[in-house]
């Protein structure tokens, strides 16, 4: 049984040129209120949608081509990102801090991940079952990265593969899955 903190080493590892941004719950609910009818002009997949970073080093650019300047350098494989637009082989993405820019599609994966809400002030319970009164297996700090195994309307079954631990987190405590989304 792992109780206590799972430290930020499993959260975000970002080398940045830009200042750190904060995100509000209003920003989170904007994409979540989407009616899921918008489709990407290149893939036909829903816009917005969540994906994850495929590589350990990825450059976010200010425009959709390699000739554009690098805005941000990410160094965290599995980092959740939200695709907000498509242009050829490029995807406009936004991170949990609201930083937006363009990444080549080859840097992105459909594997679903999330992070414990950066807006949270306290640690979040990882529970044995998807119930509020279920035993707490661990407490996770904000920004800890998790793999999404499945989600209902209220709970997500997640795993932290580095620690070989899994359990359930209330969906409202995660960035990387929409409130009305069910993940199988």
27: burial class by Cβ within 10 Å (0-12, 13-18, 19+)?
middle
pLDDT band at 10 (very low <50, low <70, confident <90, very high): very low
Instruction: Find out whether 51 and 85 touch, Cβ atoms under 8 Å.
Output: no
DSSP symbols for 49-115:
EEEEE-SSSEEEESSSSTTSPEEEEE--TT-EEEEEEEETTEEEEE-TT--EEEEEGGGEE---EEE
Q: Report pTM.
A: 0.79
Q: HSE (CB half, 13 Å, CA atoms) of 76?
A: 25
* Ranges 8-12, 51-55, 82-86, 173-177: which has the least confidence: 8-12
DSSP state of 39: B
Question: Strands across the sheet with 108-109, in order?
Answer: 14-15, 70-74, 58-61, 100-104, 90-94, 80-87, 49-53, 108-109
Q: Which domains can be identified in the chain, with CATH numbers?
A: 49-111 (2.30.30.40), 115-175 (2.30.30.40)
Q: Tell me: the pLDDT tens digits for 71-124?
A: 999 999 999 999 999 999 999 999 999 999 999 999 999 999 999 999 999 999
Q: Tell me: the pLDDT tens digits for 109-167?
A: 999 999 999 999 999 999 999 999 999 999 999 999 999 999 999 999 999 988 899 99
* Among 121, 124, 119, 129, residue whose Cα is nearest residue 175: 119
């Amino acid at each position: 049984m792992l109780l206590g903190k799972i430290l930020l080493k499993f959260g975000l590892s970002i080398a940045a040129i830009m200042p750190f941004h904060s995100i509000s719950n209003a920003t989170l609910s904007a994409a979540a209120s989407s009616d899921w009818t918008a489709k990407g002009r290149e893939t036909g997949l829903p816009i917005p949608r969540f994906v994850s970073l495929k590589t350990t080093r990825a450059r976010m650019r200010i425009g959709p081509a390699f000739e554009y300047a690098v805005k941000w350098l990410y160094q965290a494989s599995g980092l959740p990102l939200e695709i907000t637009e498509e242009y050829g082989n490029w995807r406009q993405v936004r991170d949990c801090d609201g930083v937006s820019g363009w990444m080549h599609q080859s840097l992105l994966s459909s594997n679903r991940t999330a992070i414990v809400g950066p807006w949270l002030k306290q640690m979040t319970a990882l529970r044995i079952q998807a119930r509020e009164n279920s035993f707490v297996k661990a407490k996770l700090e904000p920004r800890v990265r998790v793999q999404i195994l499945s989600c209902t309307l209220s709970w997500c079954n997640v795993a932290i593969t580095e620690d070989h631990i899994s359990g359930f987190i209330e969906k409202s405590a995660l960035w990387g899955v929409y409130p009305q989304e069910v993940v199988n």
